Structure 1
Amino acid sequence: MLELDFAQSIGLIAFLVGASAFLHQNGNRFRLHLTLFQVVLCSHFILMGAFTAAFGCGISALRSYASTKTKSTRVMWFFISLLWLMGLPSLQHSYEIITIFGASVATWALFQAEGIKLRLIILFNSFCWLTNNLLLGSIGGTLMESTFIIINLYTISRIKLSKSAI
């Protein structure tokens, strides 16, 4: 059984911060809240010694914030390139590549998508990170992504229902 140490405690804090991000129906608020979540989660992964995941989260925090300011394709490709250039050399386990792929797809979504399409692509990213966190043994990360999947599906249904009511 995994013990709850300082690193795992930070992961649980990230879980609480992140879960509330997925309740936002407004895309910009969602992006800003994701930025805060990713900073806390980056700290968790550094403490866990999972540097590929930490690089991914750090870059994702910057990316999420940038996506609130611009929809530039150049900026989007910069972040996708950065994910691969920083992530590949730090791979410690073959399964970690799914975090880079998921983060790349999520980057595209944050710059190019809105509404339900944005949420569905972020949902795919959550499944990538859930797989990584299960294999890594991250309690907070596993709880987090499982919850994100549920809350994101709930928010997608709320968006769909609000559009149906119009």
Structure 2
Amino acid sequence: MDLYWLAQGIGVIAFFIGITTFFNRNERRFKLQLSLYSAIIGGHFFLMGSAPAGASAMLNAVRTVISMRTRSLWVMAVFIVLTLGIGLAKLEHAMQLLPVLGTVASTWALFRCKGLTTRCVMWCSTACWVAHNFWLGSIGGTLIEGSFLLINGLNIIRFRRMQKRGIDPFSAEKTPPVAGPQTTER
């Protein structure tokens, strides 16, 4: 098997791992699954010859796990500087700037946003990755990021509708509030 098909196979594996990421309402599971997906797709991009995308994806994996432990502005700044420094240093084509910009946006989202806002910024980041992956010819990368764009977009709409009905889709308890006065019987 040549390197191209190995890379495409890894991209398809990443597709299957990442497809359910944005269904998670639990922030911890959401971030862990996103991190695993990022590491695998990073390997795919390196094999496809896009070092800026590979480096950005690998930084995404580490950054996502670290964002579970801290929301420090300094840590966020370190990841943004690393992403820009590594990504821009390896830039060979203007389209390779898109995953770098997408990673900067998602870094900001993971450290500074919560809930629906996180998913909205991640949706914009995903749009950058879709354009890059299509340009690169990444079958698995285009499928997964296109799926992320669609699934996350639909979930943003669904979660927003829940919020309009007074339900917090990101709260620990998933039961909707009960209307009317509360009574307890003894």
Give the TM-score category using the shorter length.
Answer: over 0.9
Contact in 2 for aligned 1:8/1:138 (Cα 8 Å) = yes
Segments ≥4 residues shifted beyond 4 Å: none
Q: Which moved more, 1:105-114 or 1:91-100?
A: 91-100
* Identity rate, percent: 37
Larger radius of gyration: 2
Q: Which residue of 2 aligns with 1:125?
A: 125
> Are the aligned partners of 2:50 and 2:96 in contact in 1 as well (CA < 8 Å)?
no
| 1:5-32 deviation line (CA, Å, top 9, x unaligned) | 1110110111111111111122222111
2:69 alignment partner AA: K
In the TM superposition, 1:10-159 aligns within 5 A as: 10-159=10-159
**Larger relative contact order (CA 8 Å, sep ≥ 6):** 1
The alignment's TM-score, normalised by the length of structure 2, stands at: 0.84
- Is the CA contact 2:71–2:111 (under 8 Å) kept in the aligned structure 1? yes
For this pair of structures, how many residues does the alignment match?
163
Pairwise CA distance, 1:102: 1.0
Cα deviation per residue 1:81-124 (whole Å; 9 max; x = unaligned)?
00011111111211111111111011000000011111110000
State whether residues 115 and 159 of structure 1, in contact with CA within 8 Å, keep that contact through their aligned partners in structure 2: no
Gaps of 5+ in 2: 167-186
Secondary structure at the counterpart of residue 25 of structure 1: coil
- Secondary structure at the residue paired with 2:85? helix
Would you say the 8 A contact 2:55–2:86 is kept in 1? yes
User: d(CA) in 1 for partners of 2:28 and 2:70?
Assistant: 11
Q: Which is richer in helix?
A: 1
